[in-house]
Chains A and B, each alone.
Chain A
Amino acid sequence: MSGDNVLEVRDLATYFFLRRGVLKAVDGVSFNLRRGEVLGLVGESGCGKSVTALSIMRLLPKDTARTVRGEVRLAGENILARSQREMREIRGRRISMILQDPQTSLNPVFSVGEQLREAIYRRTRQPMAQVMKEAVELLRRVEIAAPDQRIRQFPHQMSGGMKQRVVGAISLSGRPEVLIADEPTTALDVTVQLQYLKLLKRLQSQTAMAILFITHDFGVVARMCDRVAVMYAGRIVECGPVQHILERPSHPYTQALIASVPRISGGGDSLTTIDGQPPSLMNLPPGCRFAPRCAHADPRCRASYPSTVPIGVDHTADCWRLEGR
């Protein structure tokens, strides 16, 4: 079925080689991203979701981090084998990225128009008048009012939501097949967050682009994603359709994570908590990485890492308890 998958990640492992030791940020991550779908990558800070994204983009800090194994197949071809020069042609045109903070992803000393034009010109080498026209058109597509005036403004003259729209416009300028959105709404106000998510959905439905949506917020997942992969300590522990994961999570970590979020409808005086801390990525436990915090852990869980168990249609989890059920 690989024809449906625009991006296939197989056993990806990225380690940081530090003076204190080896930090296994991503350690055996596999997933597929299908054409036109939104896949959520959920987890807490330090679980490896952003490093997964940077490994796919090949934008890791090159003095400390290295992808030590695995494959990243873009439309069937392993891009980890490509040179950095070739990657520059892939980034922006075939895979794009939106980062969390629009404040830092835009250059403060260039106008919005110059930053958009650079992205368009690099790809098309069209005459400037043509590039300008396309830049205005892109701002209109991300629903910025009065784009021909806004294009002359600098980032500091825009609000947070508007800046993030500009970042979106730049990311989409190359009509990528895959968009990686790394917590794109975390820095925005709640009412603006909803606007932005709806805009991303609209743009996606127009282009059949696939989105890998990284977030820690299950509310955003419920709104945006078709499927969701839950990460813990460098591994994906559960992956399945959004509906299933939110309503019938199978992995004890997913269950605890969802139960620990307070509900707006109220109910319950005390929230479920997950005791302890995630394990140190420099000193991982030999078995299941969640076992030290898991209420159901037994000796087998502490001894060896569970295999990936199919639970339902399109739904898998890494847990010994689910095996043979």
Chain B
Amino acid sequence: MSDRLADTEPLLRVENLRKYYPFSKGILLARTLGRIKAVDDISFTIRSGETLGLVGESGCGKTTTARLILNLEAPTQGQVLLEGRPIHGLKGEALTAFRADVQAVFQDPWSSLNPRMTVGRIVAESLIVAGWERPKIATRVEELLRQVRLEPEQAQLYPHEFSGGQRQRIALAAALASRPKLIVLDEPISALDVSIRAQMMNLLKQIQAHDKVAYLLVAHDLATVRHMTDQTIVMYLGKIVEHAPTRVLFDAVRHPYTKALFSAVLLARSAQAAEEIVLAGEVPSPLSPPGGCRFHTRCPMAMPRCSRVEPPLREVSPGHRVACHLYEATDESLVLGGDEMSKT
């Protein structure tokens, strides 16, 4: 899926994106105490028809990244470009067009669907906003419900009459209505039951094969990411620590944090990975992230310099970027070449 020409503009380009939230104390005469660096200088691209997985624990900035790409938040610095055009600052018709191009499915189908609207109306909403004619809307809604394996007659029903898995498929139908180029999937299956998850994952893949829509999949489950994505980004406290094509990453994990994440995955098979890393402590508060490498306080491989110098994200093999001092000395040539090429 990613074997296209390298010089074609990707669908989505995220450049040096930062989002800092000020936090203050007091109500009147509030003092600003500092800034939470929720997302701190991240860059990546998504090509059309491709899936990028964003993995990390709570507080790593994956949801903030998703909200920035959805244009629900304005970045502190950096930009997001859809087909070469910056998305933040769009107004009027251009913003409406952007909303049609980039859609979202959120984690909880119990709160993301309006309980007072029929399913047909929920799915039609974006078409009504786009000013479609009534008969065309009805045909499209029917087509969409079929696409997500629901019956067209079910358009008359209300969300509470559906199970969690069906609701998530309704949310997907609503997201697909405007024929988006990118759908942000924020933990789309974690609220679903195990036996329903597989249905949803298969459906998402079928729709992608058919419509060539790109996905940004925010997830914490590595097996889901492996199954669904073409490239994977691992985040820790607002930074990308590792980024690679999914197949490459799952074959050769480099960053100690990613290794720990893999080790923490509890396999249902008895053949547990030989190397077990149990991290000490929990993710530090993003209010005061550790200096140097943000992971050094929990890293089993930490060296003295890790607490002083922040490791840059550098390419260790083609397409495989890692932010870790461990991989500096090992292959000098690649490091130098990779640094120039990735410019991050």
Q: How far is it, in angstroms, between the C-alpha of A44 and the C-alpha of B195 when the chains are bound?
A: 8
Given the complex, which residues of A lie within 8 Å of B57, measured CB to CB? 189-192
Given the complex, which residues of B lie within 8 Å of A221, measured CB to CB? 268
Instruction: Say yes or no: B268 contacts A219, CB within 8 Å.
Output: yes
Contact among A160, A192, A194, A222 with B268 in the assembled complex (CB-CB below 8 Å): A222
Given A218-B268, A247-B270, A272-B282 contact (CB < 8 Å): no
A294 within 8 Å of B (CB atoms): no
A256 within 8 Å of B (CB atoms): yes
Given the complex, which residues of B lie within 8 Å of A190, measured CB to CB? 57, 220, 261, 264-265
Given the complex, which residues of A lie within 8 Å of B283, measured CB to CB? 189
Instruction: Say yes or no: A274 contacts B195, CB within 8 Å.
Output: yes
Chain B 118-137, CB-CB to A under 8 Å as 1, else 0, gives: 00000000000000000000
Instruction: Say yes or no: A257 contacts B195, CB within 8 Å.
Output: yes
Instruction: Say yes or no: B266 contacts A271, CB within 8 Å.
Output: no
Distance in Å: Cβ of A67 to nearest Cβ of chain B: 25
In residues 48-95 of chain B, which contact A (Cβ within 8 Å)?
Answer: 57-58
Distance in Å: Cβ of A268 to nearest Cβ of chain B: 8
Distance in Å: Cβ of A260 to nearest Cβ of chain B: 4
Nearest B residue to A47 via CB reads B193
Contact among A193, A217, A256, A266 with B226 in the assembled complex (CB-CB below 8 Å): A266
Instruction: Say yes or no: A264 contacts B198, CB within 8 Å.
Output: no
A223 within 8 Å of B (CB atoms): yes
Instruction: Say yes or no: A271 contacts B201, CB within 8 Å.
Output: yes
Nearest A residue to B247 via CB reads A266
Instruction: Say yes or no: B193 contacts A273, CB within 8 Å.
Output: no
Contact among B163, B198, B279 with A272 in the assembled complex (CB-CB below 8 Å): B198
Given the complex, which residues of A lie within 8 Å of B326, measured CB to CB? none
Given the complex, which residues of A lie within 8 Å of B250, measured CB to CB? 264, 266
Distance in Å: Cβ of A322 to nearest Cβ of chain B: 21
Chain B 175-216, CB-CB to A under 8 Å as 1, else 0, gives: 000000000000000000111011101100100000000000
In residues 238-259 of chain B, which contact A (Cβ within 8 Å)?
Answer: 247, 250
Q: How far is it, in angstroms, between the C-alpha of A220 and the C-alpha of B272 when the chains are bound?
A: 12
Given the complex, which residues of B lie within 8 Å of A161, measured CB to CB? 282
Given A257-B195, A260-B194, A271-B227, A219-B267 contact (CB < 8 Å): yes
B263 within 8 Å of A (CB atoms): yes
A258 within 8 Å of B (CB atoms): yes
Given the complex, which residues of B lie within 8 Å of A62, measured CB to CB? none
- The interface on chain A, measured as residues whose beta carbon lies within 8 A of the other chain's beta carbons, has a size of 43
Contact among B226, B264, B268, B270 with A258 in the assembled complex (CB-CB below 8 Å): B268
Interface SS, B side: helix
Nearest B residue to A217 via CB reads B266
Instruction: Say yes or no: A222 contacts B269, CB within 8 Å.
Output: yes
Given the complex, which residues of B lie within 8 Å of A258, measured CB to CB? 268
Instruction: Say yes or no: B265 contacts A261, CB within 8 Å.
Output: no
Instruction: Say yes or no: B270 contacts A264, CB within 8 Å.
Output: no
Instruction: Say yes or no: A195 contacts B198, CB within 8 Å.
Output: no
Given the complex, which residues of B lie within 8 Å of A277, measured CB to CB? 163, 165
A94 within 8 Å of B (CB atoms): no
Chain A 189-222, CB-CB to B under 8 Å as 1, else 0, gives: 1111111011000000000000000001111111
Chain A 222-256, CB-CB to B under 8 Å as 1, else 0, gives: 11000000000000000000010011000000001
Instruction: Say yes or no: B282 contacts A261, CB within 8 Å.
Output: no
B335 within 8 Å of A (CB atoms): no
Q: How far is it, in angstroms, between the C-alpha of A270 and the C-alpha of B208 when the chains are bound?
A: 13
B138 within 8 Å of A (CB atoms): no
Q: How far is it, in angstroms, between the C-alpha of A217 and the C-alpha of B261 when the chains are bound?
A: 17
Chain A 155-167, CB-CB to B under 8 Å as 1, else 0, gives: 0000111100000
Q: How far is it, in angstroms, between the C-alpha of A258 and the C-alpha of B195 when the chains are bound?
A: 9
A269 within 8 Å of B (CB atoms): yes
Contact among A44, A246, A262, A266 with B270 in the assembled complex (CB-CB below 8 Å): A246
Distance in Å: Cβ of B1 to nearest Cβ of chain A: 13
Contact among B223, B263, B270 with A243 in the assembled complex (CB-CB below 8 Å): B270
Instruction: Say yes or no: B267 contacts A273, CB within 8 Å.
Output: no
Given the complex, which residues of B lie within 8 Å of A194, measured CB to CB? 263-264, 266, 278-279
Q: How far is it, in angstroms, between the C-alpha of A109 and the C-alpha of B216 when the chains are bound?
A: 40
Given the complex, which residues of A lie within 8 Å of B223, measured CB to CB? 261-264
A45 within 8 Å of B (CB atoms): yes
Most interface-central of A216, A222, A257, A262 (chain B CB within 10 A): A262
Instruction: Say yes or no: A189 contacts B195, CB within 8 Å.
Output: no
B302 within 8 Å of A (CB atoms): no
Q: How far is it, in angstroms, between the C-alpha of A261 and the C-alpha of B193 when the chains are bound?
A: 11
B260 within 8 Å of A (CB atoms): yes
Instruction: Say yes or no: A195 contacts B278, CB within 8 Å.
Output: yes
Instruction: Say yes or no: A246 contacts B260, CB within 8 Å.
Output: no
Q: How far is it, in angstroms, between the C-alpha of A217 and the C-alpha of B197 when the chains are bound?
A: 13
Instruction: Say yes or no: A262 contacts B194, CB within 8 Å.
Output: no
Nearest B residue to A162 via CB reads B282
B150 within 8 Å of A (CB atoms): no
Given the complex, which residues of A lie within 8 Å of B193, measured CB to CB? 44-45, 216
B287 within 8 Å of A (CB atoms): no
Q: How far is it, in angstroms, between the C-alpha of A45 and the C-alpha of B192 when the chains are bound?
A: 9
Instruction: Say yes or no: B278 contacts A264, CB within 8 Å.
Output: no
Most interface-central of A160, A258, A260, A263 (chain B CB within 10 A): A260
Q: Which A residues form the contact surface with B (CB < 8 A)?
A: 44-45, 159-162, 189-195, 197-198, 216-223, 243, 246-247, 256-258, 260-264, 266, 269-275, 277
Pairs A-B, 9 closest by C-beta atoms = A219-B266, A218-B268, A271-B198, A260-B198, A262-B227, A189-B57, A44-B193, A274-B195, A194-B264
Chosen A-B contacts, 20 in total, with CB atoms closer than 8 Å, are: A44-B195, A162-B282, A190-B57, A191-B264, A191-B282, A192-B57, A192-B282, A193-B266, A198-B278, A222-B268, A223-B266, A257-B195, A260-B195, A261-B197, A261-B223, A262-B201, A262-B224, A266-B247, A271-B198, A271-B227
Q: Known A-B contacts: A189-B220, A219-B268, A264-B262. Give 12 more (CB < 8 A).
A: A190-B265, A191-B57, A195-B279, A217-B194, A222-B266, A222-B269, A247-B269, A256-B195, A262-B223, A271-B227, A275-B199, A277-B165
Q: Which B residues form the contact surface with A (CB < 8 A)?
A: 57-58, 163, 165, 193-195, 197-199, 201-202, 205, 220, 222-224, 226-227, 247, 250, 260-270, 272, 278-279, 282-283
